[in-house]
Amino acid sequence: MMKKLIIANWKMNPQSQKEAKKLFSGVLQASKGENKVEVVVCCPFVYLPLALEFSCGRKKIQVRWGAQDCFFEEKGAFTGEISPFQLRDLNVRYVLCGHSERRGLGEDDEVVNQKLKAILAAGLCPILCVGERAEEREKRVAFRVLEKQVRVGLKGVAKNKIGKVVIAYEPVWAISPGGPCQPDDALTASLFVRKIISQIAGKKTAKGLKVLYGGSVDPQNIEDFIQGDWFQGALVGAASLDVREFAGIIKRAQLG
């Protein structure tokens, strides 16, 4: 079984370096000695240098750093944007791509695709976030939405690079403060995503793919999603801002 991937998405939190340091230190502590789990922290851009500084000199650092977004160009006159190459220079390994909160601000599948390709070009690992909104679920078009998000998101990506992409299935309505998705409904969606990937890149790539679940994950429900290798990890928002909760998730993932 492959290592489980537990990714913290701090979103636009916390509000001070002092709090960020406290969180970093808690996550490092909670990840010590965990060898069946890869822990990643996607913190705001402004805390990445701090994260790096924090892990410097700690030889056996088990936590990897991630960003929550980036731009699709390498460099140039793009005021306010961050290049994946700049992220690579900060030792960032993962970048969230197409999170529903960014899609909600107007990012469409085409932009997500451009970003995903730029992340790969910089040698980083994109986490392609997909998932239907509540109204799409009610209208029973969730699978159509997922298919488009996956197909357009991966458009033009070489087949041998698709295996480097991590997919996070996050039904938008299940993101906190919503409730979590029923684990077997999430599994059905993830199998559908794998089927699409297998049509695009072949069965072997689809089988080896890491698919994560995201949406109100906590220490009490994580096992329901990772049981029997249903999901290969989780993308955790609110609970990742509470060190005890996040440590609980890492512990359970280690056992699961």
- Nearer to ligand PGA by Cβ, of 53 and 185: the residue is 185
Count of residues near ligand PGA by CB under 6 A: 13
Interface residue with ligand PGA, options 217, 222, 226, 253 (CB under 6 A)? 217
Catalytic annotation present for 99: yes
Residue 6 to residue 247: CA distance in whole angstroms: 11
Stretch 218-237: interaction string toward ligand PGA, x if CB under 6 A: -----------------xxx
- Residue 56 CB, nearest distance to ligand PGA (Å)? 28
Dump the DSSP string for 121-176.
HTT-EEEEEE---HHHHHTT-HHHHHHHHHHHHTTT--HHHHTT-EEEE--GGGST
249 binding ligand PGA? (CB under 6 A)? no
- Residue 122 CB, nearest distance to ligand PGA (Å)? 22
Cα dihedral 161/96/222/249 (nearest 10): 110
Query: How close are the terminal C-alpha atoms of the chain, in Å?
Result: 11
Q: Which two tokens stand for residue 127?
A: 């986490």
Q: Which two tokens stand for residue 154?
A: 């991966």
Catalytic residue selected from 99, 101, 132, 136: 99
Handedness of CA 96, 32, 24, 52 (dihedral sign): negative
Interface residue with ligand PGA, options 4, 5, 6, 9 (CB under 6 A)? 9
3-state secondary structure of 16: coil
Catalytic residue selected from 34, 101, 136, 170: 170
Q: Please report, for the chain, how many H helices and E strands are present, in that order.
A: 12, 8
Q: Give, as ranges, the residues between 134 and 173 that touch ligand PGA (CB under 6 A).
A: 170
Residue 234 to residue 185: CA distance in whole angstroms: 15
- Nearer to ligand PGA by Cβ, of 196 and 239: the residue is 239
Q: Please give the helix or strand (H or E) that residue 226 lies within, else none.
A: helix 222-226
- Residue 154 CB, nearest distance to ligand PGA (Å)? 20
Catalytic annotation present for 107: no
- Nearer to ligand PGA by Cβ, of 97 and 238: the residue is 238
- Nearer to ligand PGA by Cβ, of 84 and 171: the residue is 171
In the bound state, the residue with its beta carbon closest to ligand PGA is 237
- Residue 170 CB, nearest distance to ligand PGA (Å)? 6
Which chain residues interact with ligand PGA by CB under 6 A? 9, 170, 175-176, 214-217, 235-239
Q: Which residues are catalytic?
A: 99, 170
